[in-house]
Amino acid sequence: VCLSVCLSVRLFVRQTPSNTVGLYIFGFQGNNILMSLNATDYKRLVGLLESAILSTDLALYFKKRGSFEKLVQSGEKEWKDSGKKDLLRGMMMTACDVAAITKPWEIQQQV
């Protein structure tokens, strides 16, 4: 999942009553980047995007941080498990989200 795509649509998703509606942005003419996916791949991608976007909620971060720290401290080297990938993706999304708001205002307002 491309973190920049997730971050660019996260506010849109938060402001809609349904997370799936947030993916409407991909359907705009000229932006339908998901049209070549079959139904299974589309559903999987939508799930990944929703999970990544919702993981920017700091309440979820604090709930999952302990599990992530245990994995890191254990020296875990196998990250192929989907649960571990989701946990890592969530931590990365939160880091990107927090880092995005630390820019000086002159730069942030241009972004």
Got the DSSP string for 14-80? HTSSSGGGGGGGGGSTT--TTTTS-HHHHHHHHHHHHHHHHTT-HHHHHHHHHHHHHHHHTT-----
pLDDT in tens, the chain (111 residues): 445 455 444 444 444 444 444 555 555 556 667 778 888 988 888 788 888 888 888 888 999 999 999 999 999 888 889 899 999 999 998 888 888 778 787 877 776
Residue corresponding to tokens 């969530």: 90
Question: DSSP code of 101?
Answer: T
Domain range summary for the chain, segments of one domain joined by +: 3-108
Residue 6 φ/ψ, nearest 5 degrees: -60, -45
C-alpha 66/C-alpha 97 separation (Å) is 19
Residue corresponding to tokens 């931590």: 91
pTM of the model: 0.65
